[in-house]
Structure 1
């Protein structure tokens, strides 16, 4: 969690005005800025095709931005990779959505979790001792080490993926849909484990999820994307309490809530998300926005502050209604 003076500390990873264009036509990211401070838990949400995966790949150094900069502790990512590629790979790890498919089906778990030690040229005996400690900490049975990935449950496979990251003493974890496909009870256990590990190892998380209850449960700050742009950013509590962008409000209105008194009125968005090859003029959301006016089709909105720690890319943010009321 960020402290009061954390803004004075350089972010562990920062994207500044990053754009990624594929084939000269597809703008997967367009002017995206995102700061991850050490110890933060940040959520990233948006429909499929909004640019979340491209952002993660760019942050991980698996793809170069067309423009803009990515820095790690203030150092350009390209320079960091050229100077110490393995060091960066140890520090920043990604948990993929399909945990079982991310593990080689030809290796037993023991080989899978020891392989990173060999790749990163770390002492094997020290690493094995750490694996034994983490095995118990993650609640994995000892016999899991002798199994193949297909013999693991979904929850166990995700714990093995976490084990592979922590054995390298990684500090930044990018988790893509960490609870996808898991039973609700298993989801709760995994989220509690991630929170415990965050506190124990001072981890930094970027959580990518379509499950808004996961975002609300585990993150401290949330970023909403639409068609390659950040349309809203705020503390998670503020975002769920008073969304400023109509798109955010529409997303939250679909979120399942047990208590009928706390359910939001459903906001139905008509039409499909536009093609990133043929982007709408003006605001990219205006073709589906229930608040759209003539200005929205003509003028591109800029990301601007609408409150402490909350910013929105909208000409007519919902916060204006609150002020008027």
Structure 2
């Protein structure tokens, strides 16, 4: 993030609790600069979806503050809820399911114009321009969602978001369920749209190759906390946290000379109802020591623009501390 500039999205010490026992997010802080492409990774249950819902104003933080352009999100929603919805749009994982099966595509993509009371003539002209830009034939407008391929449905979802001219796109598993060739086309399209419309992306994905290809910074979550944050190239080159190293070791690589030794973690991610004492990863960490079982590590800065929540960062990056 550029120093001295107000981040477009800022999360400051945010926790989200459900009842008295479950803390889906625990003291999470993250800044996203205008124009950045940030990746968010972690196993199911790590808190990624809760973080996205909180950013979108679809769930409230139990403590801490979310800001949009420096303004608290709660204040922004009270002042101009529709304006926030135009500025920050979300692409859901199941593109077909996110589109009403009872509406043709034309009505689906025009609906935001009616909801936000935007000029229809200009909006419809924009839809036609975007349709061409997204590589969709005009005949797509007369189809129902079930008549679209997976790739077409995702492009329609993108069109529906872009018609509102947002600044931020939160994309949940944007390539899930797509053939590899279609994934590549979609990622190329997203990168072109990022440059053309000066978008800011938060990309949530289990596909580490997607994260590596298109993001500039990556955030790794485990059991409701950020455990590592780094420039994507640095993180893939030399992970500092043992959990990050384990994730990357499972990533498919075509070149045999670049494959990592597979790290097999013991057991499953613990329940958020029964969070381990000390470091939350110590129950599965191959490098855990006595201190890890007793003392929670802070998310501390290392010397290459990364942060890590670990008492004993891995050897490749420990010298940067």
Fold shared per TM-score above 0.5: yes
The answer as to 2:17 corresponding to 1:21 is yes
Inter-partner Cα distance in structure 2 for 1:251 and 1:44: 13
Inter-partner Cα distance in structure 2 for 1:269 and 1:149: 40
Inter-partner Cα distance in structure 2 for 1:155 and 1:260: 30
The answer as to 2:271 corresponding to 1:275 is yes
Which of 79, 84, 88 is matched with 1:88 structurally? 84
Alpha-carbon distance change, 92 to 321 in structure 1, aligned in 2, over 3 angstroms: closer
The answer as to 2:297 corresponding to 1:301 is yes
Inter-partner Cα distance in structure 1 for 2:174 and 2:292: 36
Contact kept? 1:219, 1:236, Cα under 8 Å: yes
When normalised by structure 2's length, the TM-score is 0.98
Contact kept? 1:242, 1:319, Cα under 8 Å: no
Q: Which residue of structure 2 lines up, in the alignment, with residue 226 of structure 1?
A: 222
> Deviation of residue 285 (structure 1)?
0.2
Give the SS at the match of 1:205: strand
Moved more, 305-314 or 245-254: 305-314
Q: Which residue of structure 2 lines up, in the alignment, with residue 194 of structure 1?
A: 190
Q: Which residue of structure 2 lines up, in the alignment, with residue 54 of structure 1?
A: 50
Alpha-carbon distance change, 89 to 283 in structure 1, aligned in 2, over 3 angstroms: same
Q: Which residue of structure 1 lines up, in the alignment, with residue 155 of structure 2?
A: 159
Which of 252, 276, 285 is matched with 1:289 structurally? 285
> Deviation of residue 261 (structure 1)?
0.1
- CA displacement 1:83-115 (0-9 Å, x = unmatched): 100000000000000000000000000000000
> Deviation of residue 23 (structure 1)?
1.1
> Deviation of residue 321 (structure 1)?
6.8
- CA displacement 1:302-322 (0-9 Å, x = unmatched): 001122211100000014676
Give the SS at the match of 1:197: helix
Moved more, 90-99 or 315-324: 315-324
Give the SS at the match of 1:230: strand
- CA displacement 1:127-171 (0-9 Å, x = unmatched): 000001000000001111000000000000000010011110011
Alignment of 1:107-256 (within 5 A): 107-256=103-252
- CA displacement 1:168-217 (0-9 Å, x = unmatched): 00110000000000000000000000000000000000000000000000
Contact kept? 1:306, 1:319, Cα under 8 Å: no
- CA displacement 1:265-303 (0-9 Å, x = unmatched): 000001111110010000000000000001100000000
Structure 2 residue runs of 5 or longer lacking an equivalent are: none
Structure 1 runs (4+) greater than 2 angstroms displaced: 319-324
Contact kept? 1:286, 1:296, Cα under 8 Å: yes
Give the SS at the match of 1:62: coil
Alpha-carbon distance change, 24 to 186 in structure 1, aligned in 2, over 3 angstroms: same
Give the SS at the match of 2:302: strand
Alpha-carbon distance change, 88 to 118 in structure 1, aligned in 2, over 3 angstroms: same
Give the SS at the match of 1:174: strand
When normalised by structure 1's length, the TM-score is 0.97
> Deviation of residue 48 (structure 1)?
0.1
- CA displacement 1:41-83 (0-9 Å, x = unmatched): 0000000000000000000001110000001111110100011
Q: Which residue of structure 1 lines up, in the alignment, with residue 6 of structure 2?
A: 10
The answer as to 2:71 corresponding to 1:71 is no
Inter-partner Cα distance in structure 2 for 1:154 and 1:314: 40
